[in-house]
């Protein structure tokens, strides 16, 4: 569960975007006056079409781009001038970005080696990360010997192996087919709930945002047009990007309480059905 206790960082939330703007040419803004608080342990999705500014926000959080104006604060400390390698943030991209000449285990060991961890600690953490994504027997394989879904699991494991408190994911499932994409949605959400890590997830896929998020920030033309829970975003849309005809919210809390174990998962895997522990909602018709 997200933590709302900001006292740890002097009254500041875990992540804070404070009036952040970004321009690449000095004239037009691709991100306009962006303000957002993110609690520790929260899963927040930046949802919007290509060119809406969502990936630019993620790149500024990662340190690959710098705000033209405003400040990004992590755990009470401004980080806009901090280089990426000093931010301690895990990253997952759509193209996996795995080293092809390294084995799976070597790919996972790399971020630990650059942090100068002892060899015994590296071996323990790599094994734990591989087991977490159910690839414990694949450590000696190279990326080319894995399926797309397996490669994405390796990318997720590498982002988590050094135990970051914040993980950024930029369209991580875009290259997978529909079945693999849905499977990985549940895998990522399960990992998030197990570890309690904070995740900022970028996608243009409304189904992904519905299935995985605690809150959704709907981007368009460099601004956030709506920030709300998945249920509220769909039942009371404040933007044409989420038309009311897209998703019909269903009150099935009582029904959810009767579903346990595989029955819950089966219900969630039905087309257009999305479930959380005590609620479900149906997208489309």
Q: What pLDDT digit, counting tens, does each position of 15-60 carry?
A: 999 999 999 998 899 999 999 999 999 999 999 988 899 999 999 9
* Alpha carbon distances (Å) from 252 to 54, 175, 281, 282: 32, 33, 8, 10
The DSSP symbol for 118 reads -
The DSSP symbol for 15 reads E
pLDDT computed for residue 283 by the predictor: 44
> Do 258 and 241 meet the contact criterion of CB atoms below 8 Å apart?
no
Distance separating alpha carbons of residues 270 and 282, to the nearest angstrom: 10
Distance separating alpha carbons of residues 87 and 245, to the nearest angstrom: 41
pLDDT computed for residue 241 by the predictor: 57
> Do 201 and 45 meet the contact criterion of CB atoms below 8 Å apart?
yes
Helix (H, G, I), strand (E, B) or coil at 45: strand
The DSSP symbol for 164 reads -
**Largest Cα–Cα distance in the chain?**
57
Q: Kindly report, residue by residue over 130-188, the tens digit of the pLDDT.
A: 998 889 999 999 999 998 889 988 999 999 999 999 999 998 888 778 887 888 888 88
Burial class (CB in 10 A: 0-12, 13-18, 19+), 161: buried
pLDDT computed for residue 233 by the predictor: 79
Arch. (CATH architecture) of 7-243: 3-Layer(aba) Sandwich (3.40)
Helix (H, G, I), strand (E, B) or coil at 152: helix
Give the HSE-up count for residue 150: Cα atoms under 13 Å, Cβ half-sphere. Answer: 15
Residue with tokens 């009311």: 244
* CATH 3.40.50.300 domain position(s) in the chain: 7-243
Which two three-digit tokens encode residue 284? 């489309």
pTM of the model: 0.80
């Amino acid at each position: 569960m997200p933590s709302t206790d900001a006292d740890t960082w002097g009254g500041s939330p875990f992540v804070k975007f404070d009036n952040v703007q970004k321009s690449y040419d000095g004239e037009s803004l691709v991100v306009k006056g962006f303000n957002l608080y993110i609690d520790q342990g929260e899963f927040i999705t930046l949802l919007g079409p290509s060119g809406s500014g969502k990936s630019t926000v993620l790149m500024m959080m990662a340190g690959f781009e710098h705000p033209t104006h405003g400040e990004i604060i992590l755990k009470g400390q401004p980080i806009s001038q901090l280089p990426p390698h000093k931010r301690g943030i895990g990253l997952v991209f759509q193209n996996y970005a795995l080293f092809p000449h390294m084995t799976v285990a070597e790919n996972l060991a790399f971020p630990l080696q650059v942090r100068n961890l002892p060899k015994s600690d590296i071996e323990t953490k790599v094994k734990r990360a591989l087991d977490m994504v159910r690839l414990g027997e694949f450590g000696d394989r190279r990326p080319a010997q894995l399926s797309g879904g397996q490669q994405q699991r390796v990318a997720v494991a590498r982002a988590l192996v050094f135990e970051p408190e914040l993980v950024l994911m930029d369209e991580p499932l875009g290259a997978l087919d529909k079945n693999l994409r849905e499977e990985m949605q549940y895998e990522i959400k399960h990992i998030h709930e197990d570890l309690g890590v904070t995740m900022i997830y970028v996608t243009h896929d409304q189904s992904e945002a519905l299935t995985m998020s605690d809150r959704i920030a709907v981007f368009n033309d460099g601004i956030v047009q709506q920030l709300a829970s998945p249920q509220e975003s769909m039942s009371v849309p404040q933007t044409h990007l989420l038309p009311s005809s897209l998703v019909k919210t269903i009150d099935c809390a009582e029904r959810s309480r009767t579903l346990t174990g595989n029955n819950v998962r089966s219900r969630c895997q039905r087309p257009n059905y999305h479930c959380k522990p005590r609620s479900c909602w149906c997208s489309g018709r």
